[in-house]
A and B are shown apart, each in its own frame.
Chain A
Amino acid sequence: MAEMWISMGPQHPMTHGLWTLKVKVDGETVVDTEPDLGYIHRGVEKICESRDFTQITTYCDRLCYASANTWSHAYIYAAEDLLEVEVPERAEYIRLVAIELQRVASHLMWLGAYGPDIGNLSVMVWCLREREMMMDLLQELGGSRMHYNFPRIGGVKRDLPYGFAQRARAKLKLFLNRIQEYEALFDESTVFLVRSQGVGYAKPEEMVNHGVTGPNLRAGGVNYDIRWAHPYSVYSELDWAPPVERSSIKGADCYDRYRVRVEEMRVSASLVLQALDKMPGGADTYHEPEDPMILAKAPSRAPEGTTGAHHFEDSRGESMFYIAGGGEGRGKQPYRVSIRSPMFITIPYAAKCMIGYKVADIPAIMGSFDPCIGETDR
């Protein structure tokens, strides 16, 4: 059969968002791919230039609908670097709890979406069931279900509510047991193994050259986790290690990326449990909002010439904010906000990874890279 272009998207089950993947196929084999992004560009960077520093947090929440909390924290750390704020330690621990719970929720969303990608609907319902527990915990912190607006410059909005630690421990214990159910459904299923192993090889050196980060890179054997390599917050206080797969000679396949994310859920859950144990002042005490234990005073203006930047380990890779002070209102607003999105870099590379595989492998490969279009298009 002659080669033909198939335009998968902008509304297609494979896309996990609003984008187009143009695929050139020869029968069932993928010959060429061309990603087409930009359908939901909202101009967040430009909007931020006309907002106060505190107002920007909500916009950063909306960068990624699956992992809102990590993105608002990514901004907060950069803003604190710009405004030179010392954050109380208890607030850092609370942030760590929020971030890691969000990471678990995001990975659960990914695993739940990856099941239907290769034909199993049960795992989606199972994962969303467990994600619901994480969302309930995050809702206790932030007050809303998806866009929490939880961090503040200099701390967090609220302390842990009464009984939060107990509930979090119980739910995480249940969740850690249920990860084994997913593994029973995935790792012990030969059908899943033949679908994911040996498919969508990504070479570590190519990924480094392209700038791919996060679990996708760690699946290739590169031990680069910003929480580990350049620890921020209180990650260096806790006992943990980033899960890294040993890459084969061909690189990381879909199975490696799956393994890394499942292990990362375990690590994140254990981080939350450790943080609850080590919380300064105890996880069961409650401080009123704006208490100095959880929120430090922060200046509202950044003079011209000051800059702030922060590398942040998002659920999908390295996200980075660069903020230049000295905007409108004598520095009340930023002059420029620049966002580095990990998926914007990963998606073109993932599209390249598909060449040579079958049409049926397209969702399997694309889904294993965990695309999120909200942050990609910004």
Chain B
Amino acid sequence: MTSSDWLDVAGWSESFSNWSMDNVHDVLPSGDIDMQVTIPSTWAWPEPITMGPIFNMQSGFASIQPALESFMHATIMCTVVFGMMMTTMLAIPYIERKFIGRLMDRLGATTTLRSLWVGESGVTAGEWWNQLPFGMGAPIGWVVNALNSTWGNSHELETVARVNNRSYHGYWFLLPGFFQAFADFMKFATKEHIVPKNADKVVFEVAPVIILATTIMVFAFVPFGPHIYAANPELSLLFMMAIFGIAPLGVFFAGWASNNKYTLIGGMRSAAQLTAYEIPLLITVLGVAVLSGSFNIIEIVDFQMGQDEGNVWNIFLMPLGALLFLVTMIAEVERIPFDMPEAEAELVEGWWTEYGGIRWGLMFAAEYMRSYAACILFALFFLGGWEAPFQHTLSNLPAVGGIFSTVFSVIPGLIWVLLKAWLLFAVFVWIRASLHRVRTDQILEFGWRYLLPLSMLNLVIATILRLQFWTGGPWDLWVPAAVTLVSGGLFVILAIDEDEEALEIQRRPYSTQAVVKASPGSHRK
């Protein structure tokens, strides 16, 4: 089943291109005109080129019309996808700012989650769901109250006070902090551009262009929906992964050209790290391709949601692959705990120490774009892309299935892609807020000695699943259920690595050494 979505941007763009080019064709003069164009030989050609003498504009245009139509279609789609990428990416720094602010300012992850349903309430916004028109927020209020009575404090105000460690002044619907990204951009754009005296100036200027251009180019192959993509070649997966791997070259250029010891070390770290993580990443993605039987991203998503194909999200079939993809992608986009190339504690700012102003801002934006691309790719590869959670199950329910299918047909797939990507970015931020930075040699060791064999194992699992357990139609329900159960059980077993007895004896479970306390009062003798 090919995915259906009323938000058919590609179709609209194509029909608009055809229609407008037909109009151009129609308004051209229909008769033959006597036109002779001669290009003199002195320019480049040995012989003078002569067109004409008789030229029919309509039939001449008709020969190039398909090329013009596809060019116009591509232009429109590139503009749409670029604009969509840039506007939706504004949510990424917003999520980072808000979520990490909560994690750091408040009382840990549990309270952070609770703060999401308590909201910025209390002295500021209060029960914000009551401000929604037509009582639309009433269900939110029920959920919030239910959650509060279950996991909140017994007293509502106490929860609010605990969560509301700080206050903000403003209206929740203005998304306080959202437009900070624009202010940041203005600041970067107005800063002076400084090139270090002894830098390799050409390479210094070229490196940000390489990084930014390849990062944006990745989005050409990332579909936001079944019909929203800039380009959709047969092997879009390979194409995109190849372009994803160009940016490290720019990083290395930047590190070398700045003529600074910090940037040099940062660039080398980046090169080593990205080499170590590119290979497990590619093998993991290969596992996805094997399982879905396609190198085309849209077909991979179709395989996950099509009722006559797989019909199960890939994360339930290869959780190991999803985990590997998450870890390697965090390393690829150089976020904590793998942000060794820009370790600000010892390398000041790593390979971009010498960049300032708009170049720094754009490279930082490229960093976020790569994170965003990683999140979207995770959503597409493992979380069913533009399929709503349990879409088919809910739509096939006996009584209320019709309502659900109507609702799902109204919501465009784009929404689900974005929601999944943003949620995943929140996980990135959560990881960043709770982990430390891993050392370079440890990062490399982890990549080569653990991730590479695991990704090979994942490939083997994907092959076995595809060849042995896939019958050509939807997956038998026991296959994803068994895989998920086994993986979850393994995860739980591996997570409990603490020695219970040691825990009881020692308050510090991981300490290798014990505190020796002198007996109190020995100094009074």
Judged by a CB distance under 8 angstroms, whether A43 is at the interface is no
Judged by a CB distance under 8 angstroms, whether A80 is at the interface is no
A360 contacts B339, C-beta separation under 8 Å: no
Q: Which single residue of chain B is at the shortest CB-CB distance from A357?
A: B439
Give B407-443 as 1s and 0s: 1 = Cβ < 8 Å from A's Cβ atoms. Answer: 0000000000000000000000000011111111110
Q: Which single residue of chain B is at the shortest CB-CB distance from A116?
A: B345
Given the known interface contacts A192-B436, A256-B513, the answer about A119 and B520 at a Cβ–Cβ threshold of 8 Å is no
Question: For window 480-502 of chain B, which residues contact chain A by CB distance below 8 Å?
Answer: none
Given the known interface contacts A118-B436, A191-B438, A229-B523, the answer about A360 and B515 at a Cβ–Cβ threshold of 8 Å is no
B345 contacts A118, C-beta separation under 8 Å: yes
Q: Which chain B residues border A223 with CB–CB below 8 Å?
A: 516, 518
Q: Which single residue of chain A is at the shortest CB-CB distance from B339?
A: A119
Judged by a CB distance under 8 angstroms, whether A194 is at the interface is yes
Judged by a CB distance under 8 angstroms, whether B357 is at the interface is no
Judged by a CB distance under 8 angstroms, whether A356 is at the interface is no
Q: Which single residue of chain B is at the shortest CB-CB distance from A267?
A: B517
A-B contact pairs, 13 of them (CB 8 A): A25-B265, A120-B434, A125-B104, A188-B509, A191-B437, A240-B520, A248-B513, A255-B511, A358-B441, A359-B346, A359-B347, A360-B346, A362-B346
Question: For window 207-264 of chain B, which residues contact chain A by CB distance below 8 Å?
Answer: 261-262
A241 contacts B513, C-beta separation under 8 Å: no
Pick from B336, B344, B439, B442 the residue with the most CB of A within 10 Å: B439
Given the known interface contacts A120-B435, A228-B523, A358-B441, the answer about A13 and B104 at a Cβ–Cβ threshold of 8 Å is no
B440 contacts A28, C-beta separation under 8 Å: yes
Given the known interface contacts A14-B346, A358-B440, the answer about A122 and B433 at a Cβ–Cβ threshold of 8 Å is yes
Among A57-65, A179-187, A282-290, the stretch that binds chain B is A179-187
A244 contacts B437, C-beta separation under 8 Å: no
Q: Which chain B residues border A181 with CB–CB below 8 Å?
A: 107-108
Return the contact of A239 from the options B104, B105, B348, B521 (Cβ within 8 A).
B521
Q: Which chain B residues border A28 with CB–CB below 8 Å?
A: 265, 269, 440-441
Bound Cα distance from A229 to B524, whole angstroms: 10
- How many Å from the CB of A216 to the closest CB on chain B? 15
| CB < 8 Å A-B pair total | 138
B510 contacts A188, C-beta separation under 8 Å: yes
- How many Å from the CB of A7 to the closest CB on chain B? 9
Interface residue total, chain A, C-beta cutoff 8 A: 59
Q: Which chain A residues border B437 with CB–CB below 8 Å?
A: 118-120, 191, 195, 360
Question: For window 340-372 of chain B, which residues contact chain A by CB distance below 8 Å?
Answer: 340, 343-348
Q: State the B residues within 8 Å of A (CB).
A: 100, 103-105, 107-108, 165, 261-262, 265, 269, 336-337, 339-340, 343-348, 433-442, 508-521, 523-524
B518 contacts A244, C-beta separation under 8 Å: yes
- How many Å from the CB of B325 to the closest CB on chain A? 20
Given the known interface contacts A119-B339, A239-B520, A259-B511, the answer about A191 and B436 at a Cβ–Cβ threshold of 8 Å is yes
Judged by a CB distance under 8 angstroms, whether A46 is at the interface is no
Return the contact of B508 from the options A115, A187, A242 (Cβ within 8 A).
A187
Q: Which chain A residues border B105 with CB–CB below 8 Å?
A: 125, 129
B104 contacts A122, C-beta separation under 8 Å: yes
Q: Which single residue of chain B is at the shortest CB-CB distance from A1?
A: B268
Judged by a CB distance under 8 angstroms, whether A370 is at the interface is no
- How many Å from the CB of B513 to the closest CB on chain A? 5
Return the contact of B435 from the options A189, A241, A360 (Cβ within 8 A).
A189
Q: Which single residue of chain A is at the shortest CB-CB distance from B343?
A: A360
List 8 A-B pairs, minimum CB-CB distance, nearest first: A119-B437, A363-B345, A125-B104, A122-B104, A360-B439, A119-B436, A241-B517, A118-B436
A187 contacts B346, C-beta separation under 8 Å: no
B441 contacts A244, C-beta separation under 8 Å: no
- How many Å from the CB of B268 to the closest CB on chain A? 8
Beyond A4-B261, A221-B516, A361-B439, 17 additional pairs, beta carbon < 8 A: A25-B265, A119-B336, A119-B345, A120-B433, A120-B434, A121-B100, A122-B433, A181-B107, A185-B434, A187-B510, A191-B337, A194-B438, A195-B437, A239-B521, A244-B516, A244-B517, A245-B515
Judged by a CB distance under 8 angstroms, whether A300 is at the interface is no
Bound Cα distance from A122 to B109, whole angstroms: 11
Give A1-39 as 1s and 0s: 1 = Cβ < 8 Å from B's Cβ atoms. Answer: 000101010001110000000000100100000000000
Bound Cα distance from A28 to B165, whole angstroms: 42
Bound Cα distance from A10 to B337, whole angstroms: 27
